[in-house]
Chains A and B, each alone.
Chain A
Amino acid sequence: DVKVTQSSRYLVKRTGEKVFLECVQDMDHENMFWYRQDPGLGLRLIYFSYDVKMKEKGDIPEGYSVSREKKERFSLILESASTNQTSMYLCASSPHVAGGSNTQYFGPGTRLTVL
């Protein structure tokens, strides 16, 4: 089974803190994704990466950055957390195959609260 793990299930931080959310997958997938999920808004893509050291902006990258130094690990960074970044953060990975978008496998999510 594909396993995607996220470093924390729940996290509470203060405004202005630097926050790191870590995601690790064990299936040698090339693609990794960070989403945030808010009630009524569904999943919104923040950033994705299709290879080590490669990154692409998603729909809502403002206030976030990412790092992918190793194939299995994709980190989401909030440089200076703000209260409007309180949300559920979901990481996903997918294999890179010819033909187009492939099945994404999700981690359990990190519920981040910024006070």
Chain B
Amino acid sequence: AQSVTQPDIHITVSEGASLELRCNYSYGATPYLFWYVQSPGQGLQLLLKYFSGDTLVQGIKGFEAEFKRSQSSFNLRKPSVHWSDAAEYFCAAGETGAGSYQLTFGKGTKLSVIP
């Protein structure tokens, strides 16, 4: 069955430190990949997406993600975290091919930032 795994439930980093959030997927073929962010009490906002091409994807708010086919991973990174980055982050994947509409979401990683 298709699945998306975010191994870390909660991560705490100091402001200014670098960040990497892990995401692994299990799909028959390389899926489309997404990272979303959710601030407390809000909906999800798209950070970035990977459909094909360059495996390093740039997103909003200074985030980037790297697709590694050999590791079935799509990890999210930021070189220097700001206090406003404290939120919950969701990785998602969707099938390629006509007639595919759904995304499968990971369970999320909650990021806390220490001033």
The answer to whether A41 and B98 touch across the interface, beta carbons within 8 angstroms, is no
The answer, among A41, A45, A111, for a CB contact under 8 Å with B107, is: A41
A33–B94 CA distance with the chains assembled, in angstroms:
14
The answer, among A50, A90, A101, A102, for a CB contact under 8 Å with B43, is: A90
Among residues of A, the one whose C-beta sits closest to the C-beta of B29 is A100
In angstroms, how far is the closest chain A Cβ from the Cβ of B51? 8
The answer to whether B103 and A105 touch across the interface, beta carbons within 8 angstroms, is no
The answer to whether B101 and A101 touch across the interface, beta carbons within 8 angstroms, is yes
The residues of B with any CB-CB pair to A shorter than 8 Å are 9, 31-32, 34, 36, 41-46, 49, 51, 90, 92, 94-98, 100-103, 105-108
A106–B105 CA distance with the chains assembled, in angstroms:
13
The answer to whether A100 and B46 touch across the interface, beta carbons within 8 angstroms, is no
A37-80 contact mask (Cβ, 8 Å, vs B): 1 or 0: 00011110100101000000010000000000000000000000
The residues of A with any CB-CB pair to B shorter than 8 Å are 4, 31, 33, 40-43, 45, 48, 50, 58, 90, 92, 94, 96, 98-109, 111
In angstroms, how far is the closest chain A Cβ from the Cβ of B101? 5
The answer, among A43, A96, A105, for a CB contact under 8 Å with B90, is: A43
The answer to whether A100 and B94 touch across the interface, beta carbons within 8 angstroms, is yes
Among residues of A, the one whose C-beta sits closest to the C-beta of B108 is A42
The answer to whether B105 and A42 touch across the interface, beta carbons within 8 angstroms, is yes
The answer to whether A99 and B98 touch across the interface, beta carbons within 8 angstroms, is yes
- On whether A100 and B32 interact (CB within 8 A), knowing A41-B107, A43-B105, A105-B46, the answer reads yes
Among residues of B, the one whose C-beta sits closest to the C-beta of A105 is B46
The answer, among A100, A103, A108, for a CB contact under 8 Å with B34, is: A103
The answer to whether A90 and B44 touch across the interface, beta carbons within 8 angstroms, is yes
The answer to whether B90 and A94 touch across the interface, beta carbons within 8 angstroms, is no
A111–B45 CA distance with the chains assembled, in angstroms:
18
In angstroms, how far is the closest chain A Cβ from the Cβ of B78? 21
Which chain A residues border B102 with CB–CB below 8 Å?
33, 45, 48, 58, 101
In angstroms, how far is the closest chain B Cβ from the Cβ of A102? 7
Which chain A residues border B43 with CB–CB below 8 Å?
4, 90, 106-109
6 residue pairs, one from A and one from B, having the closest CB atoms? A101-B94, A42-B107, A106-B43, A100-B96, A106-B44, A100-B100
